[in-house]
Every structure is written in C-alpha cells, then in structure tokens.
C-alpha cells in the first residue's frame, strides 16, 4: 500500500467515530483531507463541522458540509486530526501544515481526539521532526535564542521567499535538534515564553485514539 492509500484507509476508518446529527471537529493536512472526502459521503447525517484552518474550511464547504465557528459550540464529541509524530502515550508533534494554533483550539473543545496517521508517524520519542512553534514576529529572535540555549536550532519558516504568515497572521519557527523527553513539561515551559502563540507539542491535548495505517490494514491504538 502506498502512503496515499494508507491515508485514505485511516481517513475512512475515522468515520466510525463521527456521531450522527452532531458537529465534528476537523483538523488539517493531507490525511485529514482524506477524512473530509470520506465525511462528505455522510454529510446528510451530520450537522456540520468546526474547522482548524482556512484550507480545511475551503475543502469542507466545497463538499457541501456546513462549517460552524468554534464559538458556536460548547463542546464536540470528537476531533479528527493528523500528526507529524505520535509517541506511545498519544503525545504528538503537530504543525507541519502551519495550523497548530487553531488545531489545538478545536482539539480543546473535543471530548475525544482521534489521530489518523500512516505508520511513518509513529515514533518512540518526539523531536526528530522539526518542532513547529507559532510566534509573534517581534519575538522570533529571542525565542530562537532560547531554543538554541537548550540545544535546538530554530529557523523561520519561509514561503515563496517570505516568512510564512499563518491564518492568525503570525510566523512559525521550526526547531531542529531537540530531544523532547518530557512532552507535558516541555509544552508548559515553552508556552510561557513571551511571544509564543502555540508550541507544536500536543501533550495537554493528546490523542485518545490513533488510527494507524499499516501495510496490513488499520491498527487502532487507544491511550
Ligand atoms: O499540521 C498539522 O498538524 C497536520 O495535522 C500534520 O501534522 C499532518 O499532516 P499530514 O497528514 O499531511 O502528514
């Protein structure tokens, strides 16, 4: 099975967690896009979706799914999203798609976070994937220096020769060379730094279930 076929498999498998008649929380990325395409086949059985990015909103609307604002709901039964890395406890590194802030906001509304991923995302320890951190531009330099002080190397994410601007109008640092051995503590620590909007460690908003696309099918991991 190709990686694309694995993403399709897990995107379809996630439909089992969608509660009929409800609003579903939707993440961002190529795996989530497979889920959105599958969700469209049952769009008359759901009330709609709360989206974590401009990109996901566009895809949902194009497929006829009603998109609600995060402030229109008190809570969600489920949030479906991908990850760049997921470890044995359901802690994740996210932000490869630059949507980490709204992803964490929508995840915080949900009772259950269901991560959909191909097997390449399963890691023993977080930190091999460059850690995305959304920052207020004027703080980027001092935040980069703090990561350097802990052994990391922070670079400003660029797009078309300019710093990438997120849906929230901020910038992203990608930090290489970190060993994230204590995800909960690390997330709390970095969140405190002035100018940090969101750090791409999802430990406080960890996954409860991971649908992992493997060569022999979908593995369901619960945490
Ligand atoms: O940016 C994100 O957090 C995405 O969910 C990312 O982590 C997974 O994207 P992919 O499904 O395209 O690999």
Mutate to test the pocket of ligand 1, among 4, 31, 107 (most ligand atoms within 8 A of CB): 31
Cα–Cα distances (Å) from 29 to 36, 41, 46, 59, 116, in that order, read: 10, 19, 21, 11, 10
Write the pLDDT tens digit of every residue in 121-171: 999 999 999 999 999 999 999 999 999 999 999 999 999 999 999 999 999
Amino acid 140: pLDDT:
98
Question: Rounded CA gap, 195 and 140, in Å?
Answer: 8
Decide if 84 contacts 93 (C-beta within 8 A). Answer: yes
Tell me, letter by letter, the H, E, C secondary structure of 119-152: HHHECCCECCCCEEEEECHHHHHHHHHHHHHCCC
Annotated ligand binding at 188? The verdict is no
Distance 40 CA to ligand 1 centre (A): 20
Question: Rounded CA gap, 86 and 210, in Å?
Answer: 9
Annotated ligand binding at 90? The verdict is no
Amino acid 200: pLDDT:
98
Mean pLDDT of the chain: 98
Model-level pTM? 0.97
Closest CA to 136 of 179, 188, 198, 74: 198
**Does the C-beta of 97 come closer than 6 Å to ligand 1?**
yes
Nearest-atom number in ligand 1 for the CA of 97 is 1
Annotated ligand binding at 121? The verdict is yes
Q: How many CA atoms lie within 13 A of 167 on its CB side?
A: 18
Decide if 27 contacts 70 (C-beta within 8 A). Answer: no
ipTM of the complex model: 0.97
Active site residues: 103
**Does the C-beta of 29 come closer than 6 Å to ligand 1?**
yes
Residue 160: other Cβ atoms inside 10 A: 5
Residue 71: other Cβ atoms inside 10 A: 8
* Tokens representing residue 162 in the block: 């300019």
């Amino acid at each position: 099975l190709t990686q694309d076929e694995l993403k399709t498999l897990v995107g379809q498998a996630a439909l089992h967690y969608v509660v009929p008649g409800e609003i579903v929380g939707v993440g961002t990325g190529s795996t989530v896009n497979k889920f959105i395409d599958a969700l469209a086949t049952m769009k008359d059985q759901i009330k709609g979706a709360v989206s974590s990015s401009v990109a996901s909103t566009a895809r949902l609307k194009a497929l006829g799914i009603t998109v609600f604002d995060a402030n229109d709901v008190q809570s969600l039964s489920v949030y479906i999203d991908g990850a760049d890395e997921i470890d044995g406890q359901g802690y994740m590194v996210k932000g490869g798609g630059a949507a980490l802030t709204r992803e964490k906001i929508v995840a915080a509304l949900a009772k259950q976070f269901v991560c959909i991923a191909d097997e390449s995302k399963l890691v023993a320890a977080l930190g091999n994937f460059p850690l995305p951190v959304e920052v207020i531009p004027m703080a980027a330099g001092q935040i980069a220096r703090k990561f350097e002080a802990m052994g990391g190397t922070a670079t400003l994410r660029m797009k078309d020769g300019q710093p990438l601007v997120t849906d929230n109008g901020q910038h992203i640092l990608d930090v290489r060379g970190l060993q994230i051995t204590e995800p909960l503590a690390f997330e709390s620590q970095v969140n405190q730094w002035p100018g940090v909007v969101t750090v791409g460690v999802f430990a406080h908003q960890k996954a409860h279930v991971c649908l992992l696309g493997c060569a022999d099918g979908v593995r369901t991991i619960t945490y």
